[in-house]
Structure 1
Amino acid sequence: MHRFSGAPAGVAFGGGAVLGAAHIGVLKAMHELGFRAGCVSGTSIGSFIAALHAFGKSWEEIEKLALDLDWSDLSGLTISGYGLLSNRKFGALVERLLGSCLIEDAPIPLAIVATDICTGQKVVLRKGDVATAVMASSSIPGVFRPVEYDGMLLVDGVLAENVPISPLREMGADTIVCIDLLGRHTFRRPEHLATLLLNAFYSALRAISELQIRDADLVITPDLTGYSLVDMSAVPDILHAGYVEARPLLTSWLASRRQT
């Protein structure tokens, strides 16, 4: 694990639906450069990637998974009182990949961010079932139904902190790398209701996200211009965009840190 000033370095994985494939490219660059996070956090799709990484899945394993996934199969087209889709299959996928794991048992300390829809407050999950926490963090209001968790009704963490830097500070990290999927993303014309809601959702959050990541030591913002939030066919290109952005940034940043 990398330490600067004696404390572990933390990595925050932001939300962005299918754009989350860019996180895998960042993990590839981290691996090649020998950069190991001492703790990780994630919101929405970032919570999925962070959880897999925290429990020891390699970037190659995560890449294969992403290339084989079918978003429509995972979404589960069911009607509920709160939203159009259920992401129960998403939770089942996490459980199949990791087993019935608890957040507190992750080899790399892990924090998952969700939002309490009844209070509007950020909820940082450091204990409990990983699959349920990832489901909660990824439940976009109006698209996915909320998740009941420890007496709360939880929805997507992007409403509270899309790129979750603050939990890393609380976990003891004094150096933070974050991946922002929205900073250089331009939205495509929506093809259906789900993409219309996603476009509106993430457009409203982009400016807030820019303010939240100001305190990060390194911000990786892949060029995701024109990619759809739900088109899985673009995953290889999105993954590559994450890699080509992260590799030179991490190389120069790590070199500068070694000189100080």
Structure 2
Amino acid sequence: MPDTAVVTQAVTEVEPVTGLILSGGGARAAYQVGVLAGIADLLPPGSPNPFPVIVGTSAGAINAVKLASGALHFRIAIHQLTEFWRSFRSHQVLRSDWSGVIHQASRFFGRSLMGFGRNIPVALLNSSPLRELLNVRLDLSGIEAAIDAHHLRAVAVTAFGYESGQAVTFYQGRGTIEPWLRHRRIGRPTQLTVDHLLASSAIPLLFAPVMLDQEYFGDGAVRQSAPISPALHLGANRVLVVGVSGNPRGLKTERPAPRAPIGIQPSLAQISGHMLNTPSSIIWKAISSCWSA
């Protein structure tokens, strides 16, 4: 029988690695910043980043990467994230002027109904203002600096691949982290960019899918059956989940779907098919949160 004292000592010597998981939720992702600000207030002055592993999906991916890029100075990063959301306006997310809306709608219906322009993205709204905003407000070089200084183990965002039907977690972290492969969900090391954030937050039909590694990706909340799993794969042994919506019903295991040709814009039928195979609660919560922004 093992010595209880030895077992206890082995358990206590395990270094605690806390993973922060930020879910999607559109404009409600601002509430996540309020939670993080409250945590920052509870920590002693000068405390390091308490979340070595940070994972985000959809709008939560923007918060995750913004926080990770400032992980060298946790309190300052929280302050910047707070100001980021306070100054947020709808015109910084999408083109809301009439000319922009009409132009995008004509492209959408021309592509989906008439078959014009196979390479025209299937989207009702133009999210180019969000790309411009993120390019200005994010300093992604801070991620690698935080990793090198051991203030961050890894940061990850999840997006949904339209051709493969997989939830892909793109992560940037220490070289010792191994990629993973599970049923319809994989982990892929990369250097995170604004494109990864736009892909993770591209609500189907509303925002255009984004090309990453020769495949088009959309909102990471679609078919995300195991949201805690990426944090565990990245080394977390305890997690803090900050959600901003109700818990949807669990997804049943399904047979692998046939793969579409790689690198081709997903059609309206293809996107709709994936949406019909996704719990309606996830879809409508994503759409309603976008319109309430």
User: What TM-score do you get using the length of structure 2 for normalisation?
Assistant: 0.59
Tell me the distance in 1 between the aligned counterparts of 2:78 and 2:90.
20
Aligned partners of 1:41 and 1:71: how far apart in 2? 25
Structure 2 residue 224 is matched with structure 1 residue 161: yes
User: For residues 22-33 of structure 1, what are the structure 2 equivalents within 5 Å?
Assistant: 22-33=31-42
Query: Which residue identity lines up with residue 170 of structure 1 in the other structure?
Result: H
Higher fraction of helix: 1
- SS of 1:58's partner is helix
Looking at structure 1, the residues matched to 13 and 28 of structure 2 have their Cα atoms a distance apart, in angstroms, of: 30
1:162–1:73 distance in 2 versus 1, CA, 3 Å: farther
* More divergent stretch after superposition (159-168 vs 144-153): 159-168
What is the CA distance between 1:180 and its match in structure 2?
Answer: 1.5
Q: Cα–Cα, structure 1 residues 105 and 144, in superposed 2: closer, same or farther, change >3 Å?
A: farther
Write the deviation string for residues 12-49 of structure 1: whole angstroms up to 9, x where unpaired.
00000001011111111221222711110000100000
Corresponding residue of 1:138 = 201
Distance of aligned partners of 1:163 and 1:93 in 2 relative to their CA distance in 1, 3 Å threshold: farther
Corresponding residue number in structure 2 for 1:223: none
Post-superposition shift, 1:67? 1.5
Q: Which amino acid aligns with 1:148?
A: M
RMSD: 3.0
Distance of 1:173 and 1:142 partners within structure 2: 34
CA distance in 2, matches of 1:123, 1:104: 21
125, 130, 133: which one pairs with 1:85? 125
C-alpha separation in 1, matches of 2:210 and 2:142: 17
1:205 aligns with 2:219: no
Residues 114, 123 of structure 1: 8 Å contact kept = yes
Q: Distance in 1 between matches of 2:77 and 2:13?
A: 24
Letter aligned with residue 133 of structure 1: H
Structure number, greater radius of gyration: 2
Q: Percent identity?
A: 24
Tell me, yes or no, if structure 1 residue 66 matches structure 2 residue 85: yes
Q: Is the 8 A contact 2:157 2:200 kept in 1?
A: yes
Q: Is 2:213 the partner of 1:150?
A: yes
Which sections of structure 2, spanning at least 5 residues, go unmatched?
Answer: 1-11, 44-48, 71-75, 96-100, 108-119, 172-189, 249-275
1:7 Cα shift? 3.4
Aligned residues: 197
CA positional deviation for 1:101: 4.0
Unaligned runs of 5+ in 1: 186-199, 207-226, 233-260
Is residue 16 of structure 1 aligned with residue 25 of structure 2? yes
